[in-house]
Amino acid sequence: MADAAFSHAPQPDGATGVLVLADGTVIWGKGFGATGNAVGEVCFNTSMTGYQEVLTDPSYAAQIVTFTFPHIGNVGINEEDIESRVDGAVGCVVREDITLASNFRAEGEFIDWMKSLGKIGLAGVDTRALTRRIRLNGAPNAVIAHDPEGRFDIPTLLQRARDWPGLEGMDLARMVSREKQEGWEGGVWTLGKGYARSPRAPRPHVVAMDFGAKDNIFRNLVKAGASVTVVPAQTPLAAILEMKPDGVFLSNGPGDPAATGEYAVPVIEGLLERDVPLFGICLGHQMLALAAGAKTAKMHQGHRGANHPVKRLEDGVVEITSMNHGFAVDNASLPEGVEETHISLFDGSNCGIAIKGKKAFGVQYHPEASPGPQDSFYLFQKFIGSLG
């Protein structure tokens, strides 16, 4: 059902952008960034900072991000805040018009950067109403479009939104994973110093499976004391074992974990059988759960933002976390031998597991949190500390 804040009214004067939902709702605004149109799932993110990190996070592949914070783009962009060089979100929806950058770290303008990456933006939208719509009705499929001349074929855009199959059953990890194995170099960023350099001394060797990883995860593994080799999502078990890893990391990524799990879960099962220490984040956490016998399911609206409270069940400590996921591990499906370690205080959904008798655990949220809270860095230390 269409929200009262939106209508099917004719195109207003000056409208150069549009969001067409699969239910027929048409939302007009001012387009910016790339021209053309793109299809995806509309979600919302409640973070007050980090729009550049969000839009370059591969986990947002095939999604149109609605930012609830009204002032997006006003601090510009810079090379240091890019999380990945592969495709992330296809576009974004914002409340206020994009202003010129005003920040000492800015190296360019947000609009120009969006255009260079082929991402479409839509400004002037009542993002509160759109967010409420998603909360009530779920994340819709839609097409976002931008034409400086304001020429749109709405019936065609609507049909494209309706024809798009959605994220369920979609394996996007293979589309955003790196294609070649590489040794990771560089640690976390600090103001005025940039990114740290990886120490040369011998360290525990972690093989990181890239299902659409944020670079800051690898930086935090280095900070925690690891030497990191990153491999493509579809790397066979034999190839991983040949590297003689002290532990294997399972990264975040986009799409349906059950679809990606068709090739990844057998690898994870093989690692579990050999007692290789494992640590999974987000999609990696979900596939670890699948390998242990649990199930995953599509969420109504998902969790996306930098202020999500998560309870650690062993001691009751509450961590403020950064999240980005539209699928979750089904708590009720956790088999015997899999312990639930963390839950969301928003809705009680699963946010962490540990496999009994194994050095294997995962969390649904993002402990690397760039930008965002730092409460959960201990998880990297826990993983590296278990490699002995």
Mean pLDDT across the chain: 95
φ, ψ (nearest 5 deg) of residue 190: -135, 145
> What is residue 4's predicted lDDT score, i.e. its pLDDT?
44
Which class would CATH give 173-385? alpha beta
CA 163 to CA 142: how far, in whole Å? 10
Give the model confidence (pLDDT) of 261-293 as tens digits.
999 999 999 999 999 999 999 999 999 999 999
Q: Matching CATH topology for 17-163 and 173-385?
A: no
pTM here? 0.95
| pLDDT less than 70: residues of the chain | 1-9
The 3-state DSSP class for residue 281 equals: strand
State in Å, rounded, how far the first CA of the chain is from the last one: 56
- Confirm whether 325 is a catalytic residue: no
- The answer to whether residue 205 is catalytic is no
CA dist., res. 7 & res. 206, Å (int): 52
Q: Which tens digit of pLDDT belongs to each residue from 103-130? A: 999 999 999 999 999 999 999 999 999 9
351 has catalytic annotation: no
Catalytic residue among 303, 308, 325, 366: 366
Rounded to an integer, what distance in angstroms lies between the CA atom of residue 105 and that of residue 79? Answer: 10
CATH architecture of 17-163: 3-Layer(bba) Sandwich (3.50)
> Which of 41, 53, 319, 368 is the catalytic position?
368
Are 268 and 250 in contact by the 8 Å Cβ rule? The answer is yes
8 Å CB contact between 221 and 204: no
Active-site residue identified among 41, 282, 303, 342: 282
Going from N- to C-terminal start, the domains of the chain cover: 17-163, 173-385
